[in-house]
Amino acid sequence: MCLAIPGKIVEISPDNRDSALVEVVGVRRKIDLGLLQDDKPVPGDWVLVHVGFAMSKISEQDAADQMNTLRMLGEIEGAMQEVQGYGLEEVN
Amino acid sequence: MRFVDEFREPELISKTAEEIRRLAGTDRHYRLMEVCGGHTHAIYRFGLKDILPENIELIHGPGCPVCVLPMGRIDDGLAIAQHPDVIFAAFGDMMRVPGTQGSPLKHKARGMDIRIVYSPSDALKLARLNPEKHVMFFAIGFETTAPSTALTMMRAKAEGICNFSVFCNHVTIIPAIRAILDSPDMRLDAFIGPGHVSTVIGCRPYEWIAHNERKPIVVSGFEPLDMLQSIVMILHQLRKGEARVENQYKRVVPWEGNRAALRAMAEVFELRPYFEWRGLGFISQSALGVNDKYAGWDAEQRFEVPGVRVTDPKAAQCGEVLKGVLKPHQCKLFGRECTPEHPIGALMVSSEGSCAAYHNYEHRKAAMVSLSSVA
């Protein structure tokens, strides 16, 4: 829950501008962009994701640094589990 | 310095550590509080204490939302989940947190419909998928997760989804810092400010700490170098007798925060007059409740809530540890009755809780040292 997971925006949903496909280390899931209304990301941008919502735009370098921090903290597995769980993929 | 070799830029880390040593000198003791549980975890994981000079003491703050939630709130949430039509949805972090009758996971094993979700929007999705049921999302977290809960409730209202509600346990960090500063047994020199909370609230809300309390606060990133640089910035201020808010984590934290996230919170939530924090007691205006506009999506207004209050086991000293008066291993239950496998206090449940962090890294290290001295 407290993990900030870096993801790359792959695609904005054509029918819902607040929904985007992000990629986190090869895993693609939908996340919510509604909390970045003032500074909407576009495909190719990097964002920090908390509980399925993009919370801030970051640079590619910062995304790599954050991934490295998660690795050093032993939290990569937890982060991947969280991302894979978005959209209830593991619930139902 | 066991982990230094794993770090990026080990030379820069050694240089920064040297700078800290020079600034800290030997003439006084420094007590710095890291507010955020993520920082606590990082400090233990990276072995930062081994890098810092002895006269710099890090006190672990209240910034682990699972740890500060009183047991009675878990009992209240589980009481609502007793209704046969209710699905109880919560983040995985909550699942092992003990209530009086056991954790949500134990209740699940007894047949209650309890689901792990990784996002509040997935709790709303569960409600869409199960129109004959009521989905109650057990919301928890500081300002990092509160905006997501708020936006999800706005979506539920806009779509007219009525079989969804939120049992709101969101808390705000500033009143907790104030309570700690007001506590008579607490002496602190400065704060390492939370990183991700600050992406939402920005740096401005900390200004009273510098202006009124005359304590430096530096908002910090989570890498070892980030935290060491933040300590350098704090020491510079303390040596000069200054007290300012500084932002070491500029690459992620804007000074003004995230206005869209703050707007979502303002739309849905209002400050509760008071809220109980585990270990810190009741703190006024320290938590978010659901406002009247969203009453239909507020579990506390839709269901009867018993309002359970549970005192922590007498022997457990979570409160003293949470305030930094005791170190985790100084609690009578630490590592004996209370372990990460069988937690009694909440500080032992989350990996961001100071007891679990201490147990996982320091305790193990101490055990290895004593083994090697025997050999």
Query: What's the pLDDT tens digit per position in A6-48?
Result: 999 999 999 999 999 999 988 999 999 999 999 999 999 999 9
- Domain residue limits at B365: 318-374
* CA pair distance A84, A75, nearest whole angstrom: 14
* CA pair distance A72, B86, nearest whole angstrom: 39
CATH of the domain at B44: 3.40.50.11750
Query: Whole-structure pTM over 0.90, yes or no?
Result: yes
Chain B residue with Cα closest to A85 = B118
- Which of A38, A73, A83 lies at the smallest CB-CB distance from B42? A73
What's the pLDDT at B367?
67
Contacts of B375 (CB under 8 A, 6+ apart): none
Number of domains present in the structure of chain B: 3
Report B:193-222 residues touching A (Cβ under 8 A).
Answer: 196, 199-200, 221-222
Per the CB < 8 A criterion, the answer to whether B13 and B48 are in contact is no
More reliable by pLDDT, A56 or B352:
A56
Chain B residue with Cα closest to A86 = B118
Check whether residue B46 and residue B27 sit in a common domain: yes
Q: Is B151 on the interface with A (CB under 8 A)?
A: yes
Number of domains present in the structure of chain A: 1
Q: Is residue A63 part of a domain?
A: yes
Check whether residue B23 and residue B57 sit in a common domain: yes
Query: What's the pLDDT tens digit per position in B118-174?
Result: 999 999 999 999 999 999 999 999 999 999 999 999 999 999 999 999 999 999 999
Per the CB < 8 A criterion, the answer to whether B85 and B111 are in contact is no
Q: Do B144 and A56 touch (CB under 8 A)?
A: no
Q: Is residue A82 part of a domain?
A: yes
Q: Is residue B311 part of a domain?
A: no
How confident is residue A73, by pLDDT bands cut at 50, 70 and 90? Answer: confident
What's the pLDDT at B5?
54
| Domain boundary, last residue among B275, B302, B329 | B302
CATH of the domain at A22: 2.30.30.140
Q: Is residue A31 part of a domain?
A: yes
* CA pair distance B225, B7, nearest whole angstrom: 9
Q: Which two tokens stand for residue B124?
A: 């709303």
Per the CB < 8 A criterion, the answer to whether B313 and B297 are in contact is no
Q: Is residue A92 part of a domain?
A: no
Q: Is A86 on the interface with B (CB under 8 A)?
A: yes
Q: Is residue B91 part of a domain?
A: yes
- Cβ neighbours of A44 (radius 10 Å): 9
User: What DSSP assignment string belongs to B127-155?
Assistant: HHH-TTSEEEEEEEESTTTHHHHHHHHHH
- Mutation site, B67, B129, B144, B199, interface A, largest A CB count within 10 A: B144
Q: What percent of chain B has pLDDT over 70?
A: 95
Name the residue with tokens 């983040």: B91
Q: Which two tokens stand for residue B177?
A: 């810092």
Check whether residue B190 and residue B221 sit in a common domain: yes
ipTM above 0.90, yes or no: yes
Cα B253 to its chain centre, rounded Å, is: 18
- Domain residue limits at A24: 5-87
Check whether residue B294 and residue B218 sit in a common domain: no
B251 CA to chain A: closest CA distance, Å? Answer: 7
pLDDT one digit per residue (tens) for chain B, 375 residues: 444 456 678 899 999 999 999 999 999 999 999 999 999 999 998 899 899 999 999 998 888 999 899 999 999 999 999 999 999 999 998 998 889 999 999 999 999 999 999 999 999 999 999 999 999 999 999 999 999 999 999 999 999 999 999 999 999 999 999 998 988 877 899 999 999 999 999 999 999 999 999 999 999 999 999 999 999 999 999 999 999 999 999 999 999 999 999 999 999 999 999 999 988 889 999 999 999 999 999 999 999 999 988 887 778 888 788 777 888 999 999 999 999 888 887 788 887 888 998 998 877 776 666 555 554
